[in-house]
């Protein structure tokens, strides 16, 4: 099995890369910029797991770069069985304090780039009549709160798009699902103030940060044959947030 994972160099994407590798997936590990430490990491992981992990570098905000990156993936002449649309960006700001330029920037990465990846990769999946696409969304796209107008609305858009894509691609044997993580122990997960983090914990059954590896296990399940009858769904992994 072969998987494309965006944002593989850190956070949830990095955990997904490790989890998939340990479960014998060959991986195209996508990241924005080359890094010696990242390439050393994937070389060690590849050897220890006995799988192929190829770095693919491109900026999701650059449409031509995305096309070139996917062309590089297709050049390996292997099936693309799984796409994990993980890379994204956070932003905090109220309606009145969020410039439209920032809104465009967030949507460029969190929505438009994700759609572009689905369009390009689904072409290969359509030809092979199989595939699993997993979009990393967020509970921030389900809850409505102050101060996250750009991030929350972009993730809400991805939840809708995930379901719409599932309807359109199902006839080609392609499943499309999303994962909505709650507060997770990553760099992005710590952008909230300590006070805001405590407020989240106060209304969460399991009062701690989620681990990236716990989100990765959800992605592994959705990618597997064990989830063969699941599509158009959003798997919430949030420790039991009570709204």
Query: Tell me: the pLDDT tens digits for 95-110?
Result: 677 788 887 888 899 9
Give the model's pLDDT for residue 242.
66
Q: Is 129 exposed, middle or buried (0-12, 13-18, 19+ CB in 10 A)?
A: exposed
Question: Torsion angle of alpha carbons 63, 120, 88, 206, nearest 10°?
Answer: 180
Instruction: Point out the catalytic residue in the list 57, 151, 191, 221.
Output: 151
What are the boundaries of each domain within the chain?
2-237
Q: What pLDDT is stored for residue 95 in this prediction?
A: 65
For 36, residues 6+ apart whose C-beta sits below 8 A from its C-beta are: none
Residue 119: how many CB atoms within 10 A of its CB?
Answer: 12
What's the pTM?
Answer: 0.90
Domain 2-237 in this protein, CATH class: alpha beta
Q: Collect the ranges in the chain with pLDDT lower than 70.
A: 89-90, 92-95, 147, 188-192, 242-243
How confident is the model at residue 86, as a pLDDT?
Answer: 92
Closest CA to 16 of 242, 211, 233: 211
SS3 per residue for 48-117 = HHCCCEEEEECCCCCHHHHHHHHHHHHCCCCCCCEEEECCCCCCCECCCCCCHHHHHHHHHHHHHHHHHH
- pLDDT at site 8: 92
Task: State the pLDDT at residue 12.
Answer: 94
Q: What is the pLDDT of residues 81-96, one digit of tens each?
A: 999 999 876 676 666 7
Check if 76 is active-site. no
N- to C-terminal Cα separation, the chain: 38
């Amino acid at each position: 099995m072969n998987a494309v994972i965006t944002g593989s160099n850190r956070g949830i994407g990095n955990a997904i890369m490790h989890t998939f590798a340990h479960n014998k997936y060959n991986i195209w590990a996508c990241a924005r910029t080359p890094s010696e430490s990242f390439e050393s990491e994937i070389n060690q992981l590849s050897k220890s797991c006995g799988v192929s992990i190829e770095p693919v570098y491109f900026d999701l905000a650059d449409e031509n770069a995305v096309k070139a990156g996917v062309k590089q993936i297709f050049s390996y002449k292997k099936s693309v069985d799984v796409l994990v649309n993980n890379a994204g960006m956070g932003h905090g700001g109220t309606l009145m304090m969020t410039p439209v330029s920032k809104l465009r920037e967030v949507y460029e990465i969190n929505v438009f780039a994700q759609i572009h990846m689905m369009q390009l990769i689904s072409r290969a999946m359509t030809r092979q009549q199989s595939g699993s696409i997993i979009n990393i969304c967020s509970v921030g796209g389900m809850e409505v709160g102050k101060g996250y107008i750009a991030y929350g609305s972009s993730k809400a858009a991805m939840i809708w798009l995930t379901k719409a894509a599932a309807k359109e691609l199902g006839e080609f044997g392609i499943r499309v699902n999303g994962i909505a993580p709650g507060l997770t122990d990553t760099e992005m997960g710590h952008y909230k103030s300590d006070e805001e983090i405590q407020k989240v914990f106060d209304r969460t059954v399991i009062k701690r940060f989620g681990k990236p590896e716990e989100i990765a296990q959800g992605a592994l399940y959705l990618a597997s044959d064990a989830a063969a009858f699941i599509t158009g769904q959003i798997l919430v992994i949030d420790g039991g947030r009570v709204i």
